[in-house]
Chain A
Amino acid sequence: MEITTRSLWTLIHGMGFGALYLLAGSGAIVALYRQYSTNAPSQSEPGGDRFFGIYLTVMAALAWLTVLSGTYIIYPWYRAAAPAGTTNLAAYPRALLLSHPATKQWHLIGMEWKEHVAWLVPIAITMAAFIAIKYARDLRNHSQLRYALHGFVVISLLAAGIAGFFGAMLDKNAPVDGGQTIQLVQGEKE
């Protein structure tokens, strides 16, 4: 069982940082409701405010790791130009997608949207983490700050979902692969 370094980085970026962010995002919306809504069943959990601030900070760290690894590690492999005359475009995902009318839009719409919309996520969630830490328990007295927090967390989750969906589809149609091969499990000799 083997994996290439580029595939491994794609996994770390998408299944590691990105997927964890999406999972954490839905948790953040529930936590925001439970911690601060006046109708929530369990208000004022001890240490809940501090936990929520740390939770959003971890989400912000995940968001930054996702966009930075995507933009500066994986994207250069994705957009590498194929040398003239290259017939096998498997190592050049962007060129491979653009070479077929059936897959062209995955780049022109999918990647073009993903590469920009993903950057809204760390901005939105860093702001949310800052507010959760700065105001902590006092957030209960600032309903308008809570509304903004809700809005930004929901939109960041939507943006992350868009980026994640197109990331998965792009990797399905033109995987970023190559580099050194890492042997995970030694095969048995027959």
Chain B
Amino acid sequence: MSTQVAVTQENTTAVTNGSGAAAILSAGIGSFAVALFAIAADKSTFVKDLFVLYKPTGALSGETTAAILLWLAVWAILNWLWRRRNVSLPRINAIALVLLGLSLLLTFPPIGDLF
């Protein structure tokens, strides 16, 4: 998503909402990554083997570690970009909550297995 679209330069409150928006959107992306990596590992033996970071736990170790690292990286980047700005939060909230809701659904095996 382009930052141009979501970012506005309004300064209506003393503390800008950019850092909060970065945390919200990255949490949505991180959650979605958990579901996405789980489906990818389920569909491909190659990906599954790639995700085995700790053998006793299997691919779950890599799926979750990769999602956490992605979440933290996205959070750091967005926070750096938006920390002094006010951004359009309704849109970001909607995207983040849809991603979180999708993660909840896609981790449910009968739905995840449809892909």
Chain A residues packing against B (C-beta within 8 Å): 67, 71-72, 75-76, 79-80, 108-109, 112-113, 115-117, 119-120, 123-124, 126-127, 130-131, 134-135, 138, 141-142, 144-145, 147-148, 151-152, 155, 158-159, 162
Contacts and interface: CB of A to CB of B under 8 A. Distances in A.
A127 to B, nearest CB: 4
Given A109-B110, A116-B35, A145-B17, A123 B104 contact: no
A124 B31 contact: yes
11 contacts: A67-B64, A109-B110, A120-B31, A123-B30, A126-B27, A130-B23, A142-B89, A144-B93, A145-B17, A148-B93, A155-B97
Contacts of A162: 104
Given A119-B67, A152-B24, A71 B60 contact: yes
Contacts of B100: 120, 124, 151-152, 155
Nearest to A139: B20
A108 B42 CA distance: 12
Chain A binding surface, main DSSP class: helix
Which of A67, A72, A148, A158 gathers most chain B CB within 10 Å? A148
B20 A135 contact: yes
A173 B92 CA distance: 42
A142 B63 CA distance: 34
Chain B binding surface, main DSSP class: helix
Interface string B44-79: 000000000010111011011001100100000000
Given A144-B93, A159-B104, A76 B57 contact: yes
B60 A127 contact: no
Contacts of B96: 148, 152
A116 B62 CA distance: 12
Contacts of A72: 54, 57, 61
A72 B61 CA distance: 8
B80 interface: no
A124 B27 contact: yes
A151 B92 CA distance: 13
A123 B20 contact: no
A158 B104 CA distance: 9
Contacts of B2: none
Contacts of B90: 144
Contacts of B61: 71-72
Given A116-B107, A159-B104, A145 B31 contact: no
A124 B101 CA distance: 12
